[in-house]
Amino acid sequence: MNTNADFDQRIALDTNDMSWVASPSANVSRKMLDRVGAEIARATSIVRYEPGSSFSVHEHGGGEEILVLDGVFGDEHGEYPAGTYLRNPPGTRHSPQSSVGCELFVKLWQFTPGDLQQIRINTNEAVWYPGLVSGLSVMPLHEAAGVNTALVRWAPNTQFNRHVHPGGEEILVLEGVFHDENGSYRAGSWLRSPRYSVHTPFTQEQGALIYVKTGHLGAPLLELPHAAMV
């Protein structure tokens, strides 16, 4: 299965307008943003757990990254409220569930070789740092092999410099409205810009909170097993 699998193309989706698609587990559904492979896949998705739902125990051969968007996500290791950022490195196993229901932003098989760091960050309590221009605040989440992941808070009416992303950029708008010369993106919008893409982002009166990943479209990632591509 290939969904938005040409990583040389710019993609802009409003996930609010997308339909939920059933997963192999009852009462767990997803919106597929990009995907290369079948059930074992290099994938980016929004995933919804209905209250009381669970997913069978499984191993993450290529690692899993999660940002809890709403509700409370859980597994045998703990419970993670909205705003929690998780990284489960290759080889880890768990039995995910949600007693009250939740929505997650999930990335699979997008770890670089040798990245075995397990991360649990409650972003509601973590530290913000000043950004490169006035009005920006940054919360670093992860860095490995030139791939950087962070939350970025934009105050209202903030203007950033025109800049290039040699390794590409991915954005999920979490709050407010984010803008650049290509359009305006409300909360729930997902953007993927290819390597060496250029833009000039800004906010207006609402400001914005965004998840940002850079460098991953040019980074060496763990290879999918051949069976995933069949």
At residue 204, the pLDDT reads 98
Q: Is residue 230 part of a domain?
A: no
Query: Of 151, 194, 199, nearest to 176 (Cα)?
Result: 151
| Tens digits of residue pLDDT in 98-118 | 999 999 999 999 999 999 999
Other CB atoms closer than 10 Å to residue 159's CB: what's the count?
A: 14
Find the domain containing 142 and state its range: 129-218
Phi, psi of 216 (to 5 degrees): -75, -25
Q: What is the dihedral of CA 154, 11, 230, 113, to 10 degrees?
A: -40
For residues 80 and 141, state if they share a domain.
Answer: no
The reply to whether 145 falls in a domain is yes
Q: What percent of the chain clears pLDDT 70, i.e. is strictly above it?
A: 98
What is the pLDDT confidence band of residue 218, given thresholds at 50, 70 and 90? confident
Neighbours of 132 (CB within 10 A): 9
pLDDT in tens, 157-197: 999 999 999 999 999 999 999 999 999 999 999 999 999 99
In a domain, 25, yes or no: yes
For 116, the token pair is 């075995």
Average pLDDT value for the chain: 95
- Mean per-residue pLDDT for 5-12? 97
**Which pLDDT score, from 0 to 100, does residue 230 have?**
46
Answer yes or no: is pLDDT of 213 > 80. Answer: yes
Instruction: Give the tens place of pLDDT for each residue, 125-167.
Output: 999 999 999 999 999 999 999 999 999 999 999 999 999 999 9
Summarize pLDDT for 17-41 with one digit per residue, the tens: 999 999 988 899 999 999 998 888 9
- Per-state percent for the chain, helix, strand, coil, to nearest 5: 5, 55, 45
Helix (H, G, I), strand (E, B) or coil at 5: coil
- CA 153/CA 176 separation, integer angstroms: 10
Asked if residue 187 is part of any domain, the answer here is yes
Same domain membership, residue 139 and residue 62: no
How far apart CA 209 and CA 124 sit, in angstroms, is 13
Please indicate, yes or no, if residue 110 is contained in any of the structural domains.
yes
Are 109 and 154 part of one and the same domain?
no
92 and 59 Cβ atoms separated by less than 8 Å = yes
Say which amino acid occupies 170.
E
The CATH number of residue 102's host domain is 2.60.120.10
Pairing relationship of beta strands 11-14 and 189-193 according to DSSP bridges: antiparallel
* CA angle centred on 18, ends 177 and 4, rounded to 5°: 90
Res 228: pLDDT: 56
The count of domains in the chain is: 2
Q: What is the pTM of this model?
A: 0.96
